[in-house]
Amino acid sequence: MSQSAPRPLELLRLPLHGSRLIEASAGTGKTFTIAALYLRLVLGHGEQRAGGGPLVPPQILVVTFTEAATRELRDRIRERLSQAAAAFRDPARYPDDPVLPALRAEYDEHERPAMARRLELAAEWMDESAVSTIHSWCYRMLREHAFDSGSLFTQDLEADQTALLAEAVRDYWRSFLYPLAPEALVLARRALGDDPEAQRQKVRPLIGQAAPVAPGLDSPEGFAGVLDDRLQALERLKRPWREQFEALEAQFHALRKAVLNGRKYQKPEALMAAMRAWAEDPAALQPEPVGSTSVLGRLCARGLAAGCRKGQTLPEDLHPGFTALDDYEHLCQLPEADLLNAAANWIGQRFHQAQRRRAQMGFDDLLTRLDQALTQGEAGERLAATLRRQFPVALIDEFQDTDPVQYRIFQRVYRVADNPREQALLLIGDPKQAIYSFRGADIHSYLQARRATAGRHYTLPRNFRSTGAMVRGVNRLFQHAEQAWPEGAFLFRVAEENPVPFLPVAAQGRAEALEVHGAAQPALTLWWEDEGEPVAGKHYLPRQAAACASHIVALLNAGAARQAGFRDPDGGLVSLRPRDMAVLVRDYNEARAIQQALARRRVRSVYLSDRESVYRTDAAGDLLRWLRACAEPTVERLLRAALATPTLGLPVAELHRLTADELLWERRVEQFRGYRRLWQGQGVLPMLRRLLHDFAVPARLVARADGERVLTNLLHLSELLQQAAAELDGEQALIRHLVEHRSGNGEGGDEQILRLESDEDLVKVVTVHKAKGLEYPLVFLPFICTFKPVDGKRLPYLDRTTGGAPRWLFEMDEETRARADRARLAEDLRLLYVAMTRARHACWLGLAPVKRGTRKSNQLHQSAVGYLLAGPEGVVDGGLEAALLRARGEESAIAVTPLPAASDEGYRGPEHRPALGPARVPRRPAYEHWWIASYSALSLHAEPAAGEAVGEPARASASTAPESVGQEIIRETVAEAGESAGPDSAALALHRFPRGPGPGTFLHGLLEWAADQGFAGLAEQPALLQREVARRCRRRGWSEWAGPVADWLLRLLQADYPLPEGGALRLTALPSYQPELEFLFQTRWLNAARLDRAVTAATLDAAPRPPARAALLNGMLKGFIDLVCEQDGRYYVADYKSNWLGQGLEDYAPEALRAAVLARRYDLQLVLYTLALHRLLRARLPGYDYERHVGGAVYLFLRGLDAPGRGLFHCRPPRALIEQLDDWLQQGPDRPDVQATGSDDA
């Protein structure tokens, strides 16, 4: 069978070193296996790599191929780690698990708590695990190892690089095509495309992969020279036909009468007219076709000789114009392959230069750049060694979908063939499910790895997805082909070697069983239709769709009557429902056929495809017409097209009225002008939503069978356009964006894939590619006989069939075409395997002797199912049933039955639907009472506005937390603005300095700058201080204040501020301080009135003061402390106050300061700031004690420097108050009733 027959995998005995290949057939628990191996690596269990031990999640590389699979795999591993930790702590947990009890038993009792803790830590660490897609891993490696990889430290990953590539193509046209003469330009456009956009489509797959450039084509001059040479050669052929046409025409007619076979030269006048037109057009390569064979091929000397009647020969005086045409095959064709390849090379270089300038990469660049970095001699080996140390173990999921570049990366890092014991590379995949060649996946890369790991192959032997009968049925059909056909089931057997064998698997089975009308059902049903003659595709699709839809309806109606469903071991029956069914298709045409057949029978379905873009839906076409009309509402043609769209649904009578009623038409014009204004003012999304509701589109769509799908598409498109509009300039640019994406020219990501409109009870119509990795209870394959043979017309073609390096072919001979079609059939067989193995309980296949085109005999053998069941020779017309019976053999799980007759019976739905009750009314507000509070919000003690409930967070900006220090200063000083009287003496200092928010911010800024410079150091550099003050005053227009302010600031820094408990505070003598300390901490359900009462009672001798603003603190409390400082082991919070309290020094005496503090509720501020200090010291200071370490709060009234007490106000809130507030803010004593406000975390 194979040089390396795989061994059944024993999860707890697999050596975790070297390179090993695990082949996981469909449904055999691949993800479970990966998670189990991950457990062993975390524990360091079993046979590990040399010098290895337990690993942590960041050291275990797990690579898969989609973001969705990455998320699922990470979650499954995290869950498995948690389960294993629980099982290690408690043997009663998970006793029936196939792995955990045995794994636990391999550790001694005293070891198990440590192992459990290790597993718990690994589960907590999974957010930082190295589980990622191949692209995201490469991106990370290029950034983390920028030196070794030669990459920039910062690079942007751009998913859509269409615009950048288009610009490179336009550069090519500017450099190579625009300078050409008209005739040469015509030739160039034939080879490269009519315009830059057409050329972009041609060269896009070649970027970075083109072959070496033919000599001379890498420069504009050489390119022009090649075209000129071809034009000159054409001119030599055409000149006789242009200058001596009459002679040539006369000789041709004479030859036709005398020696030529008239049947080969019908329509002689048309032949001569085509030659005349060709000769007169310098850039024409070939004459216009006349008949099915080449005109030049018939009129060259060789062609004329071959067209002579029997026994006749051409005359010796044959005109040289005929003889010259003998070289037409070479001279009348362009070297398109060379020209296109050269263009791709030049454009690719320009494209990559633009990427480097922008520090930008595309997804393909991630792989190629890491691949290139690993080949750079010593640097590449150093990088590979670094990656091995960083990730000593790698598990590669879905390895069958690897492409050559990806495999080279793993090969260079982990040295697959060398099988070193110092590392582990586990390759997990299934070659039978390699179905993504259109994305670049190459099964030959898998086969290369299979050869490199010879002798180290393992297989998962048991299917956990399907019933025993389903597994037996699939085993029978594929094993039959494996044994009966020379090339095996998957066309890879050569002699005794088969690198892609079919190995039957055992079945775990399922507890429930499918039952219809009290009887078990066959797992595999082969529906056949064979009337003794081939069936054309145009008949095959509708017949199979009707029969399949009818059978689905019959099953659903039986389910609605509780006559069909899944019988559990206890005898209960779960009725069959639409969501239990999936119809797998290859493309949109097949999906449309079955959806229409289902819709006619009142069965709702949804189409899911991994390639179906919302831009290519009918809704997108209607939306495009709306946008054009909104952008130019006065253009009658555009507006009428928009109003006539099916989605708007205007009656025909109203559309007709618009042609006769001028006033009605003007109203529509004005309506769309309004949409344009809304578009320009608020954006395309609000405009489209307004349009939808103005025309009642949602209400009308939901009444249609497909309405929810259409409405979902419209809303999806609106969101995509709103996002795109942020990067586009104007309405027309957005319209062009939509047009490009509808035509398929715009690239995009997953966000463009059709969204599922709901989780309703719908039959799923799914492409086979999309269904991979999924499973469904019942699967229908009604169009499984369709196929698309390789015809050699889709060029350039990437040839992967030789087993060597893939290569681009610009022309395809018959041998290459046959080889490519053989590869197509092999992939179709793998698609068939994927499709059949999606079913849990049953699968139906629709079979017929199909043909394509005008063929007389059927071509069933060219389809995957035809080859599988009947072999490479196929079946004769009328022999389909016999072939299917031979394939079935004695297997009872397979039924061979005629195609059921189509029926018009519709789906009746469940007999008893629950009555709808009244709409539920929420008993809580739609928002949580949560806000960010601050002292300045609480100290604004105005009454609540009319209609505003007491305790609600204020909606005005003044009652929300300040975003910066400047905002807080402005709020404190906004009422103090006044005119400056100008400085008149140093003694008055800042009494006459301008007051209000601007000056306050100015003074605070100076003190912040002084703190950053260092108070003591700045006091020793008065010249620096004076320059900075002068600069700041000059910028404000206060140059006359520069001297007094500088003198004031220097004195303020050096002043001694007496403290009530003794000693003095001097800024220049502070041993440590922190300016502008921001705090933000949680508050929970505390009424500001409660806070106000506590602060009033405990501070400043309970003196009367204005009440705080009514508010309910729930959310966060935010503030900015000007200065936190330490002196003599005690910590203080200090706040600068620039308030203007009066003209004289007595206005800043201690009694006046106390009155100002009470009037402005600075007592509330100092308590909150002291609470913030208390929390900080409690968390950071060892042995913290409030009485010993907290000095209290200090207010420095800046204008009172020369007053008694130097403008200092000090207060130290009692410890009991601070601790009481701390408890309140955590416990939430004023939490509203749950029924009124919702849950804690709502």
Confidence of residue 215 (pLDDT cuts 50, 70, 90): confident
And the tokens for 907?
């789906």
Whether the predicted pLDDT of 411 surpasses 80? yes
The CATH T-level fold of domain 7-154+362-460 is Rossmann fold (3.40.50)
Per-residue pLDDT of 825-877, as tens digits, reads 999 999 999 999 999 999 999 999 998 877 788 888 999 999 999 999 889 88
Between 293 and 947, name the one with better pLDDT.
Answer: 293
Per-residue pLDDT of 6-21, as tens digits, reads 899 999 999 999 999 9
Q: How far apart are CA 716 and CA 714, in angstroms?
A: 5
Identify the CA nearest to 187 among candidates 280, 284, 274: 284
Whether the predicted pLDDT of 3 surpasses 60? no
Per-residue pLDDT of 883-918, as tens digits, reads 999 999 999 999 999 999 999 999 987 654 556 678
Q: What mean pLDDT is predicted for residues 647-676?
A: 91
Whether the predicted pLDDT of 24 surpasses 90? yes
Catalytic residue among 1135, 1147, 1202, 1230: 1135
Q: How far apart are CA 72 and CA 66, in angstroms?
A: 10
What pLDDT does residue 1142 have?
A: 87
Whether 174 and 350 have beta carbons less than 8 Å apart is answered as no
Whether the predicted pLDDT of 988 surpasses 80? no
And the tokens for 619?
């809704």
Confidence of residue 1089 (pLDDT cuts 50, 70, 90): very high
Q: What mean pLDDT is predicted for residues 257-272?
A: 90
Whether the predicted pLDDT of 588 surpasses 90? no
| Block residue for tokens 């008993």 | 923
Confidence of residue 198 (pLDDT cuts 50, 70, 90): confident
3-class SS of residue 898: strand
Q: What does the DSSP 8-state code read for residue 308? A: B
Amino acid in the structure at residue 269: E
Identify the CA nearest to 1025 among candidates 1042, 1000, 1001, 1040: 1042
Q: What mean pLDDT is predicted for residues 616-635?
A: 91
Q: How far apart are CA 1209 and CA 755, in angstroms?
A: 65
Q: What does the DSSP 8-state code read for residue 530? A: -
Q: What mean pLDDT is predicted for residues 353-380?
A: 82
C-alpha distances in Å from residue 217, one per residue of 222, 340, 401: 5, 10, 36
Q: How far apart are CA 1007 and CA 1076, in angstroms?
A: 10
3-class SS of residue 41: helix
1004-1024 burial, b at 16+ Cβ within 10 Å, e below that, comes to bebbbbbbeeebeebbeeeee
What pLDDT does residue 367 have?
A: 84
pTM above 0.85, yes or no: no
- Choose the most confident range, by mean pLDDT, from 500-509, 793-802, 934-943: 500-509
Binding residue numbers: 24-31, 1004, 1122, 1135
CATH no. of 614-752: 1.10.486.10
Whether the predicted pLDDT of 262 surpasses 60? yes
And the tokens for 998?
């601007």
Binding residue numbers for Mg(2+): 1004, 1122, 1135
C-alpha distances in Å from residue 964, one per residue of 322, 583, 974, 1056, 1078: 90, 60, 15, 30, 9
Identify the CA nearest to 909 among candidates 1075, 691, 761: 761
Active site residue 401: no
In order, the DSSP letters of 200-238 are HHHHGGGTTTPPPPPTTTTSHHHHHHHHHHHHHHHHHHH
C-alpha distances in Å from residue 963, one per residue of 616, 945, 1078: 46, 24, 10
And the tokens for 982?
């100008």
Whether the predicted pLDDT of 924 surpasses 70? no
CATH no. of 506-608+761-898: 3.40.50.300
Mutual orientation of helices 707-725 and 684-694 as an angle, nearest 10°? 150
Question: What integer best gives the mean pLDDT of the chain?
Answer: 87
Q: What mean pLDDT is predicted for residues 418-431?
A: 93
How much of the chain, in percent, has pLDDT values that exceed 70? Answer: 90
Enclosing H/E stretch for 1222: helix 1215-1227
Whether the predicted pLDDT of 803 surpasses 60? no
CATH no. of 932-975+983-994+1056-1234: 3.90.320.10
C-alpha distances in Å from residue 674, one per residue of 43, 623, 631, 650: 67, 17, 10, 19
Q: What mean pLDDT is predicted for residues 549-557?
A: 96
Of 176-180, 955-959, 1101-1105, least confident by mean pLDDT is 955-959
Residue 1084 backbone phi and psi in degrees, to 5? -135, 110
Of 129-138, 659-668, 920-929, 1085-1094, least confident by mean pLDDT is 920-929
Domain boundaries defined on the chain = 7-154+362-460, 162-214+336-357, 229-331, 506-608+761-898, 614-752, 932-975+983-994+1056-1234
What pLDDT does residue 951 have?
A: 36
What pLDDT does residue 164 have?
A: 84
Confidence of residue 1241 (pLDDT cuts 50, 70, 90): very low
What pLDDT does residue 808 have?
A: 72
Q: How far is CA 158 from the centre of its chain?
A: 11
Sign of CA dihedral 1089, 1094, 1100, 1104: positive
Whether the predicted pLDDT of 103 surpasses 90? yes
Confidence of residue 968 (pLDDT cuts 50, 70, 90): low
What pLDDT does residue 943 have?
A: 37
Identify the CA nearest to 16 among candidates 486, 39, 27: 39
What pLDDT does residue 531 have?
A: 87
Please check whether the two domains, 7-154+362-460 and 932-975+983-994+1056-1234, share a CATH topology: no
Whether the predicted pLDDT of 816 surpasses 60? yes
